[in-house]
């Protein structure tokens, strides 16, 4: 229904889908090679011999006819375009390579290609209950895996070694794999917003920032916790941490249907600025999460403003980063609910001190 509505809304004759994430969303296909075509008359899924059985199992229940093709698929697609007199064909211009587009122009004669822009990602912004359950499970796995690796935080422990154990624990708990390159940044490296795990050894008396997540049934989680490793955090460590935590809680508390994403960003940013750290918060407050780790809506004062809708899943992740000293980020996955919100992560946000 969503594809047909998009065809009607954009006054198209059909839509061609090649991006694997969009294929999974609209057809249910979890393989690595396939093309879908939706028209006013039918929905077709083109696949070669390797994936016929899988496609029959996954896409037929979603209303697609499976068509076995010999590569390239464009030959068979062209036949259907001609039979159904397709003229205006929507394509994923943000995902299609130049070479693929040139191939379409050559094969699909007399077709007018229409840019779909971010229409698919906008459709995916609002989640179904099943999607939310998958994200919730991914968040639960991340919570449990994080708790299991905390005893590994010792002087001389290597960031990459801890990353390996964390990702292994997530897989043991049912994850398909990490949802992005795991960030573990200790001491001065914690000031790097995207400081992925390195060969650095952890030293005492500093922050250790963990930003990680996993895929479960195709859906991602995204969580950040910052701990302190040492006997006693300094007043500066405590001030930075508490400022970030307060900003995060204020932003989460303001989540409700109809709220502007820019307003949420402003709430967190204004608090951090009031404490003297405004220049040290250089990224947006958060983003949507789903089949991809970064989806719409964006939560930022510098990008397009969005209005929160029920069943959007967003991250709230303010941070403060001070070069040469360290940094703090705290992040949760949050579902926008009719009466407010639901936080999917259960790991404490009080500063954990590991001695």
Residue 306's domain is classified under what CATH number? Answer: 3.90.230.10
Say yes or no: 15 and 97 in one domain.
yes
The predicted pLDDT at position 74 comes to 81
The answer on pLDDT for 100 being more than 90 is: no
Within this chain, do residues 50 and 113 fall inside the same structural domain, yes or no?
Answer: yes
Q: Please report, for the domain that includes residue 31, its CATH number.
A: 3.40.350.10
Mean pLDDT of 203-223: 97
Q: Tell me the per-residue pLDDT of 313-334, one tens digit each, with 9 for 90 and over.
A: 999 999 999 999 999 999 999 9
Biggest CA–CA distance in the chain, Å, is 74
Q: List all residues 6 or more positions away from 114 whose beta carbon is below 8 Å from its beta carbon.
A: 10, 12, 88, 89, 90, 91
pLDDT beyond 90 at 1: no
248 contacts: CB under 8 Å, gap ≥ 6: 268, 316, 317, 318, 330, 331, 332, 349
Which pLDDT tens digit goes with each residue over 277-295?
999 999 999 999 999 999 9
Give the Cα separation of 4 and 107 in Å (integer): 24
Whether 272 and 337 share a structural domain: yes
Same domain for 171 and 281, yes or no, is yes
Instruction: Give the span between the Cα atoms of 136 and 187, in whole angstroms.
Output: 31
Among the listed ranges 3-12, 103-112, 121-130, which one has the minimum average pLDDT value? Answer: 103-112
Last-in-domain residue among 99, 123, 147: 123
133 and 262 together in one domain: yes
Residue 191 shares a structural domain with residue 326 = yes
* Higher pLDDT among residues 270 and 74, named by residue: 270
- Whether 27 and 107 map to the same domain: the answer is yes
With a cut of 90, say whether residue 75 has pLDDT above it.
no
Say which residue, 5 or 71, is predicted with more confidence: 5
pLDDT given at position 229 = 98
Residues 226 and 251 reside in one and the same domain: yes
Confidence of residue 275 (pLDDT cuts 50, 70, 90): very high
pLDDT digits (tens, 9 = 90+) for 36-57: 999 999 999 999 999 999 999 9
Averaged pLDDT score across all residues of the chain: 95
What burial class does residue 174 get, using C-beta atoms within 10 Å of its C-beta: 0-12 exposed, 13-18 middle, 19+ buried?
Answer: middle
What domain count does the chain have?
Answer: 2
- Domain that residue 342 falls in: 129-354
Domain boundary among 89, 123, 157: 123
- Run of H or E residues at 298: strand 295-299
Residue 221 pLDDT: 98
The answer to whether residues 98 and 144 belong to one domain is no
- 105, 123, 141: which is the final residue of a domain? 123
Phi/psi of residue 266, nearest 5 degrees: -65, -40
Verify that 116 and 144 share a domain, yes or no.
no
SS3 content of the chain, % helix, strand, coil (to 5): 35, 25, 35
Do 13 and 135 lie in one domain? The reply is no
């Amino acid at each position: 229904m969503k594809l047909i509505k998009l065809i009607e809304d954009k006054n198209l004759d059909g839509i061609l889908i090649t991006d694997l994430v969009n294929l999974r969303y609209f057809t249910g296909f979890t393989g690595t090679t396939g093309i879908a075509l939706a028209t006013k008359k039918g929905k077709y899924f083109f696949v070669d011999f390797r994936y016929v059985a899988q496609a029959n199992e996954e896409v037929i229940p979603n209303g697609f006819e499976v068509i076995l093709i010999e590569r390239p698929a464009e030959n068979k697609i062209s036949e259907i375009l001609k039979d159904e007199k397709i003229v205006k064909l929507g394509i994923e211009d943000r995902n299609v390579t130049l070479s693929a587009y040139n191939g379409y122009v050559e094969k699909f004669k007399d077709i007018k290609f229409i840019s779909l822009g971010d229409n698919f990602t906008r459709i995916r912004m609002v989640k179904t209950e099943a999607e939310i359950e998958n994200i919730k499970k991914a968040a639960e796995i991340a919570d449990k895996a994080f708790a299991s690796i905390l005893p590994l935080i010792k002087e001389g422990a290597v960031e990459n070694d801890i990353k390996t154990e964390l990702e292994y624990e997530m897989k043991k708990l049912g994850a398909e794999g990490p949802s992005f390159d795991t960030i573990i940044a200790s001491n001065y490296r914690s000031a790097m917003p995207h400081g992925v795990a390195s060969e650095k050894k952890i030293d005492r008396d500093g922050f250790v920032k963990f930003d990680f997540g996993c895929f479960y049934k195709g859906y991602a989680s995204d969580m950040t916790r910052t701990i302190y490793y040492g006997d006693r955090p300094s007043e500066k460590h405590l001030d930075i941490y508490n400022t970030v935590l307060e900003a995060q809680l204020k932003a989460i508390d303001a989540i409700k249907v109809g709220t502007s994403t820019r307003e949420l960003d402003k709430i967190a940013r204004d608090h951090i600025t009031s404490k003297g750290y405004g220049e040290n918060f250089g990224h947006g407050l958060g983003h949507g999460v789903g089949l991809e780790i970064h989806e719409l809506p964006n939560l930022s004062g510098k990008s397009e403003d969005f209005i929160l809708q029920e069943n959007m899943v967003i991250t709230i992740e303010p941070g403060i980063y001070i070069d040469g000293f360290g940094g703090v980020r705290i992040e949760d996955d949050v579902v926008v609910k009719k009466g407010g919100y639901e936080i999917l992560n259960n790991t404490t946000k009080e500063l954990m001190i590991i001695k």
